[in-house]
Amino acid sequence: MTGFPICRPRRLRQNATLRAMVRETEINPRDLIYPLFAIHGRGVKNPVPSLPGVYQLSIDNLVQEAGEVVAAGIPAVLLFGIPATKDEVGSGAYDPHGIVQEAVRALKKAYPELLIITDVCLCEYTSHGHCGLVDDGQVLNDPTLELIAKTALSHVEAGADIVAPSDMMDGRVGAIRKLLDANGFTQTPILAYSAKYASVFYGPFRDAAGSTPRFGDRRGYQMDPANSDEALREVELDLQEGADMVMVKPALPYLDIIRRVKDNFNVPLAAYQVSGEYAMLKSAAANGWLDEEQSVLEALTAIKRAGADLIITYYAKDVVKWLK
């Protein structure tokens, strides 16, 4: 190769057909996961101010929403719950008739083919808003494991297809795997939030889920945004404990992490385009500062190009529309 003028990269950019032929990355509806928020009641559809277009839905409305997801060809939802009451030990999280458990039953009954992934955590259910048991201002690791595993089991017993622990306690994947296996659920996959950073971009989600910690922050269990090697250690541990799929979260500010995980491990990798990423794009679009469709598709293409196989996004339904 002798370089320019023999080599001209623009030759392959001459027209849309040619560009499409050599395109390396594509967003596919079957790679998308849509988050849903279940709340008690009937006919409830509470808008989340910091997440325009996202609602807390009572189960009747949730089922209707799931119908749209199925119709769009999106294969999976990620389910969160807003309980009626909270307590110190997050008992709503593992209540067999808790909000997520009941929502799973209703969704599974209405749409058996829709994959239901449940977020497994205590923070929506604890009065202090932390992801584990708290004693003397400390989030306890080992005593939390039992409750996290119990939560996952209750989701699976209700019909959840995949469980996704997001609490970031050490050893939680192993604890879940052990309890699921002991109860005969050896075939239920675990999608581990492995590299989950202590990110300010979760702000709008905490409005949606009512899970802002009452004191302190999550830096004692979620990862330091400054770290990258540590993400590989987290993924490795989760895989050793039996994770089937791993996750990097958030997505766009962490493309380097997505790429490193993809290069180092041959397992399905999910990336979570989190609430703050959605809110940034939404607000810029609402101001007319960015074209929403193009900016979202570019961001999601970048997340896939970095190495994500699956993308969890509040934009999933819009994306399918735009791709048509």
> Which residues would be at the binding site for ligand PBG (CB under 6 A)?
119, 121, 123, 131, 166, 202, 205-206, 211, 218, 274-275
Q: How far is the CB of 168 from ligand PBG (least distance, A)?
A: 8
Task: Mark whether 178 is an active-site residue.
Answer: no
Q: How far is the CB of 204 from ligand PBG (least distance, A)?
A: 7
314 annotated ligand-binding residue: yes
In eight-state DSSP terms, residue 193 is: E
Supply angle C-alpha 102, 61, 212, rounded to 5: 70
Catalytic residue among 86, 196, 262, 304: 196
7 annotated ligand-binding residue: no
User: Of 95 and 119, which has the nearer Cβ to ligand PBG?
Assistant: 119
Pure H helices in 243-291? 255-264, 275-286
Q: How far is the CB of 118 from ligand PBG (least distance, A)?
A: 11
Residue corresponding to tokens 């494991």: 145
User: Of 101 and 278, which has the nearer Cβ to ligand PBG?
Assistant: 278
Q: How far is the CB of 10 from ligand PBG (least distance, A)?
A: 39
User: Of 19 and 53, which has the nearer Cβ to ligand PBG?
Assistant: 53
Say how far apart CA 312 and CA 291 lie, in whole Å: 21
Contact 195, 231 (CB under 8 A): yes
Catalytic residue among 86, 249, 262, 304: 249
218 annotated ligand-binding residue: yes
Residue least distant from ligand PBG (Cβ): 205
DSSP string across 27-72: --GGGEEEEEEEESSSS-EEE-TTSTT-EEEEHHHHHHHHHHHHHH
Q: Is 171 left (phi over 0), alpha (psi -120 to 50) or beta?
A: left
H, E, C per residue of 128-183: CCCCCCEECCEECCHHHHHHHHHHHHHHHHHCCCEEEECCCCCCHHHHHHHHHHHC
Say how far apart CA 141 and CA 147 lie, in whole Å: 11
Q: How far is the CB of 275 from ligand PBG (least distance, A)?
A: 3
In eight-state DSSP terms, residue 207 is: H
Residue corresponding to tokens 């959840």: 160
User: Of 125 and 180, which has the nearer Cβ to ligand PBG?
Assistant: 125
Beta bridge partners of 191: 245
User: Of 58 and 275, which has the nearer Cβ to ligand PBG?
Assistant: 275
User: Of 180 and 191, which has the nearer Cβ to ligand PBG?
Assistant: 191
123 annotated ligand-binding residue: yes
Amino acid at 234: E
30 annotated ligand-binding residue: no
Task: Mark whether 249 is an active-site residue.
Answer: yes
Summarize the annotated binding site for Mg(2+) as residue ranges.
234
Summarize the annotated binding site for Zn(2+) as residue ranges.
121, 123, 131
Summarize the annotated binding site for 5-aminolevulinate as residue ranges.
206, 218, 275, 314
Active site residues: 196, 249
Summarize the annotated binding site as residue ranges.
121, 123, 131, 206, 218, 234, 275, 314
